[in-house]
Structure 1
């Protein structure tokens, strides 16, 4: 009896240790290859845009030299299609040496010298989604050790070409293996996305004990329809998703596509505002070498990042709907709040909306609140509980507000 109790205690201690690896106490920020570059391995005809060390180095250069690192974007992550089609003679994964001639350790050194962190991709299955060698149950330990030896800082662990039973064994086992290397590696799990994202198939208590972040839903595509589909899924299931998130364990609605081809300026603001409300990882997938100044200004908006990186780590939620308008709210530290009013309409006319702090249930500070328009970078004024807040929200656009007690000072 005592032996059984001891085993249970040790198991619980191990789970706690897996959760508390000290990483990403606020949502991670960075850049990833997949959405923009997919599995482009044609370096002969498209050398500037193929999955290669040159692409990673050029993005790392931009992140270091163009202000991205300085506002918090630190992870530079390689997604699928980086490896050779076979493991080496010792059973280890190996990079494609035509596209990564210096090897992954040298690439990690280059990225680290820029003050950044390197992320890599593998798959809990026979193959990766792109058809490259996957990580099976018997290669988890050697793969974790390989990534650690390359001094990788993040692992995205996908779930193609495996079944539910293998995933249930493999995702916790990889968490244990990564921790066993002694190197702190952010662990991003795609597990729930392959199981429908919801209980009873998905156990968010378990996920929070083994993963730092996890994909809940399908891949984002470069379109407003895709962004809106993800937003609506999070709204529909927020009662399940919101309690699962917190410091060190984040719901991941997928990459930011601001700066690509599929979103208008207004729609880019909408994705960024809702991702900030959701306390989501801010992982871009775009071309930092050619990104427009407008897109860059949105992504580097310091007040938006301040909201996203709030230390309370509480995911926000949809609190009301009026026609095509949705009102989202997030509680922040020190009595502060963020509110996003999203217009899903496409009828061409900005839609009027009036609310108040009382209607938003932001009333704790009786002296009133200061309000800022996040994207306009302007101070709107001081408001009390019943003071009307009037706005007009552009089609597929958003008004994003930062609300702070008058006793606190914040300069956006």
Structure 2
């Protein structure tokens, strides 16, 4: 595509789509399961029938999301990633699923999920090819959007491999427009910032919020704790431009949750999950839920953490202090509450302690007193003044999170626990 053509089209789209993405979707960060980190591009179903990218995997994961309590905890999306397609479009130029791995077709898979009150996410790429060499969407934007809508797709992750920066300026706004014009509500997840500079001036977050419901900001996460910390630190280092960009309907995305795979200890998985909640991040599990250990289920279904993540105010948290291995974060919540997180990257062998005051959090219009509640310990609840010292015990490479409410009225934080205990007793 000629550069002059790109510039003309981009200018037209910028004038036309100013409020195009006000689609009413993703008012809180989306939650679900995503295949990529755990299963990558495994297409060899003959050798690996239980772990290849095919309809069997997604149907089985949907079954476990229901039976294992994931859906009830809020995880509703079941998302495909690269490599689901046939290697070429059909004779009419239409995209379709690999018939050997998806013999029933995507519409049947979507119907299967919808019958369980789950939603289907799919993957495409603006370019001639996807990142793994499957057919791209360039030149087929309208047709692919209409196809996804006809299948009953609920979310689209849109990559930009094999396309230039100038082509992305056309492709992402255009795909947003085509999805909206299908009339079907489809959450639009963009990879544009991760591929093309991460932050301003290369990335325009005002435009991003107008065309995308969420966007990947930074590098792909791997199954290791170092990547978790690297991503958290990058978000902190760039928080002044990232925080204003996020809110109901448009979210920064630090990538998948990897707890329950191979690398993270329970404390490390808890740290990632807690910090993704503080970042108001989409929560996309990428582990084998059919075989995940119980301690990770407990971490990733923690209703108190999910409440923080899903807070309707939709404000992303901020790092307010670092001290040695410790980081102190605060996230404003609905009703003038605050979520407060202290985590440590220490590799020492014992619990360490960190102290802070409410006055030191930089809260806008702080109250004179707060009731604070340690979400891991229902008995650690107390009222503190602005300058009272609060000392936190933190495991090595672990996290401790508080909720703080202005005044002395207790935070109603027992609802989920009581409900779960009653259910357990009845069973």
With the shorter chain as reference, the TM-score category is over 0.9
Are residues 1:157 and 2:158 paired? yes
**In the alignment, is the contact (CA less than 8 A) between 2:351 and 2:393 conserved in 1?**
yes
- 2:18 alignment partner in structure 1: 15
Are residues 1:83 and 2:106 paired? no
Give the match's secondary structure for 1:358: helix
Q: Quote the Cα distance in structure 1 between the aligned partners of 2:379 and 2:125.
A: 45
User: Residues 337-348 of structure 1: matches in 2 within 5 Å?
Assistant: 337-348=338-349
- 2:353 alignment partner in structure 1: 352
Report deviation, 1:379.
Answer: 4.0
Q: Structure 1 pair 11/343, CA: closer, same or farther in 2 (3 Å)?
A: closer
**In the alignment, is the contact (CA less than 8 A) between 2:13 and 2:174 conserved in 1?**
no
Report deviation, 1:12.
Answer: 5.3
- 1:296 alignment partner in structure 2: 297
Q: Structure 1 pair 134/13, CA: closer, same or farther in 2 (3 Å)?
A: closer
Q: Quote the Cα distance in structure 2 between the aligned partners of 1:12 and 1:71.
A: 41
Are residues 1:395 and 2:396 paired? yes
User: Residues 166-315 of structure 1: matches in 2 within 5 Å?
Assistant: 166-315=167-316
Report deviation, 1:175.
Answer: 0.2
Q: Quote the Cα distance in structure 1 between the aligned partners of 2:379 and 2:55.
A: 41
Q: Quote the Cα distance in structure 1 between the aligned partners of 2:35 and 2:266.
A: 22
Report deviation, 1:11.
Answer: 6.2
- 2:61 alignment partner in structure 1: 59
**In the alignment, is the contact (CA less than 8 A) between 2:191 and 2:216 conserved in 1?**
yes
- 2:330 alignment partner in structure 1: 329
More deviation in 207-216 or 346-355? 346-355
More deviation in 398-407 or 57-66? 398-407
More deviation in 251-260 or 385-394? 385-394
**In the alignment, is the contact (CA less than 8 A) between 2:153 and 2:186 conserved in 1?**
yes
| Superposed CA RMSD | 1.7
**In the alignment, is the contact (CA less than 8 A) between 1:27 and 1:281 conserved in 2?**
yes
Give the match's secondary structure for 1:231: helix
**In the alignment, is the contact (CA less than 8 A) between 1:120 and 1:152 conserved in 2?**
yes
Report deviation, 1:319.
Answer: 0.5
User: Residues 84-123 of structure 1: matches in 2 within 5 Å?
Assistant: 84-123=86-125
Q: Quote the Cα distance in structure 2 between the aligned partners of 1:392 and 1:350.
A: 6
Q: Quote the Cα distance in structure 2 between the aligned partners of 1:379 and 1:188.
A: 39
Report deviation, 1:10.
Answer: 10
Q: Quote the Cα distance in structure 2 between the aligned partners of 1:209 and 1:264.
A: 38
More deviation in 85-94 or 382-391? 382-391
TM-score (norm 2): 0.91
Q: Quote the Cα distance in structure 1 between the aligned partners of 2:404 and 2:38.
A: 34
Tell me the alpha carbon deviations over residues 377-402 of structure 1, each in whole angstroms, 9 at most, x when there is no partner. Answer: 55432222233211222221111111
Unaligned 5+ residue runs, structure 1? 1-7
Tell me the alpha carbon deviations over residues 179-238 of structure 1, each in whole angstroms, 9 at most, x when there is no partner. Answer: 010001000000011112011110000000000000010100000011111011111111
Unaligned 5+ residue runs, structure 2? 1-10, 415-427
Q: Structure 1 pair 228/107, CA: closer, same or farther in 2 (3 Å)?
A: same
